[in-house]
Structure 1
């Protein structure tokens, strides 16, 4: 048997089982007594047993009716719970969002967006993975992240991507460095200067190599994993470095100078990446829209930066 029992029939049954009176049960169900009687008869036909004993004075449940009453109560409770749960998700009072982002974005820019999102949707759980580009994509593939904010690379064909913003590059140096007083630095100005690099696995290093490919700079011998290490080496006069604007917060505490590279030099695009085969939840879509609103504006005009 494959019954097609509607919630209307279940509500009619429960009303009659509780009130044991056709007229009052019909009033609760906002229908006529005759229509209620038809519904109960239809339900009994579907069940294949009488559910009520009826006479002119009272209505009582049969033993089969007693059994069905338990099942009907459970079914209606589960249906109401399912609708309540989905309503919570639709209203963004519940849910989860997981974001993978480059460390520079995860530490600077994204936290304020997450804080604003949490204030608007306190019931939604937000998780953040700070990771290099390859790991961001891996988290997307595994379903551990809904969105990734990362720089372009060779393995993006399987994903849906769009540009969030462009990240211009700056020279970072000591205040007593010959280039520190310039308002703008040309890439050619870096010729002959020692440069401290990030590791080759980083998206920053890959873009810096493109910037410097036609300039004879001196390799300082340092290739490090962390921007804080770059800042410490620059502070000690062991070289200069070229880094994106989004990373400059790492250099503020060391009394260094940041000078923008001349307009026309390539910028590092920051992409929003998501899976093509996985639609976003309403909670994730709301996060995506807020990220685009807060971080997707065109870069502010660049100027000389002195921390």
Structure 2
């Protein structure tokens, strides 16, 4: 390209800090490899052949694209641009995730976001298919190909109707088992943890109503349809309407909220920053005290 731009081997050699003989040899080797002449040489000037003009045009296109890619990669490394695809479950996304994502957009407005909500099975599938960069969720099932970085221990609490005949500040599972149980479906990590806790206490767990979303569970508790055991993080803080939150006795039933990635996969700068902000938000605001 330097020879074509300057019209001489001597000018190109000066720009490239190489001898004219070295530049000429390089061009001759390229012509031999391609099987065409790229330059018409005279004693006064060097001119491109039609094949040389074709190659020069393609080279300029490639160099422009390389410059664009270089700028874009620089923007991504400096978090001026980027895209993050995140997987999570409704019990986490509804309350504390929006604040973390809002902070990310405030700090780095050039980063675009894509949120995938679903069951743990779908979250694991999306990670393995590289549909998502990482997920924020609890450990669940056999996932040895996934890496889990613990962020927060999220204790389970009992949620009772406000008019329930119970006055204590904590409740045991045998006491809770006297009420009708409301629960999420079997393919959720929350349901699996609750069922396991009841079995460990020697109790049957047979919900009278199953619903997918934790907010629906809370609304049904408030309507007096039963009680529920839910992670504290998905129970809104502040004055409750129609239900009360009671600590479980003995304490200890909890789930680990983790940043989940495919084992061995390195996050992009944008995804790593997003994961960092989410972890910080959950650690700061993720739990509150049960009544």
Query: TM-score, normalised on structure 2?
Result: 0.82
Alignment of 1:254-293 (within 5 A): 254-262=241-249, 264-293=251-280
Could you tell me which residue of structure 1 aligns to residue 183 of structure 2? Answer: 197
- Gap change, CA 1:245 and 1:66, over 3 Å in 2: same
Aligned twin of 1:206: 192
Query: Could you say which structure has the greater relative contact order, defined with CA pairs below 8 angstroms and 6 or more residues apart?
Result: 2
- Cα pair distance change 1:72/1:139, threshold 3 Å: closer
| C-alpha distance in structure 2 between counterparts of 1:50 and 1:156, whole Å | 58
Change in Cα spacing, 1:200 to 1:65, as seen in structure 2 (3 Å) is closer
Distance 1:220 1:274 in 2: 33
Partners of 1:156 and 1:50 in 2: how far apart? Answer: 58
Counterpart pick for 2:3 among 7, 10, 13: 13
Change beyond 3 A, Cα 1:205–1:67? closer
Shift of 1:90: 1.9
- How do 1:59-208 residues align onto structure 2 when only pairs under 5 Å count? 59-63=45-49, 65-179=52-166, 181-208=167-194
Alpha-carbon distance change, 142 to 250 in structure 1, aligned in 2, over 3 angstroms? farther
| Local SS of the residue matching 2:170 | coil
When structure 1 is superposed on structure 2, of 238-247 and 195-204 the one drifting more is 195-204
Q: Which stretches in structure 1 are left out of the alignment for 5+ residues?
A: 1-9
Q: Given the superposition, is the C-alpha separation of residues 42 and 82 from structure 1 closer, same or farther in structure 2, using an over 3 Å criterion?
A: farther
Q: Which runs of 5+ in 2 are unaligned?
A: 32-36
**Residue 38 of structure 1: how far off its partner (Å):** 4.1
* Separation of aligned partners in 2, 1:156 and 1:296: 24
* Per-residue Cα deviation, 1:23-62 (whole angstroms, up to 9, x for no partner): 6x677x385xxx463454233222334636454xx53414
> Is 1:51 aligned to residue 39 of structure 2?
yes
Q: CA deviation at 1:267?
A: 0.6
Q: Is the 8 A contact 1:172 1:243 kept in 2?
A: yes
Task: Tell me which of 33, 42, 59 is aligned to 2:25.
Answer: 42
Once the two structures are TM-superposed, the CA of residue 98 in structure 1 deviates from its matched residue by: 1.0
Tell me the matched-pair count: 284
- Residue 3 of structure 1 is matched in structure 2 by none
Contact 1:227–1:250 (CA under 8 A) maintained in structure 2: no
Contact 2:232 2:288 in 1 (8 A): no
Offset at residue 175 of structure 1 (A):
2.2
Provide closer, same or farther for how the CA distance between residues 68 and 234 of structure 1 changes in structure 2, counting only shifts above 3 A: closer
Calculate the aligned-residue CA RMSD, in Å: 3.1
Cα gap change, 1:222 to 1:78, in 2 (>3 Å) = closer
Deviation track 1:219-270 (CA, whole Å, cap 9, x = no partner) reads: 5622233323322322232222211112213997733211222463211222
Deviations, residues 190-214 of structure 1 (Å, cap 9, x unaligned):
2523322222222212212233332
Structure 1 residue ranges (4+ consecutive) displaced by more than 6 angstroms after TM superposition = 250-253
* CA positional deviation for 1:119: 2.2
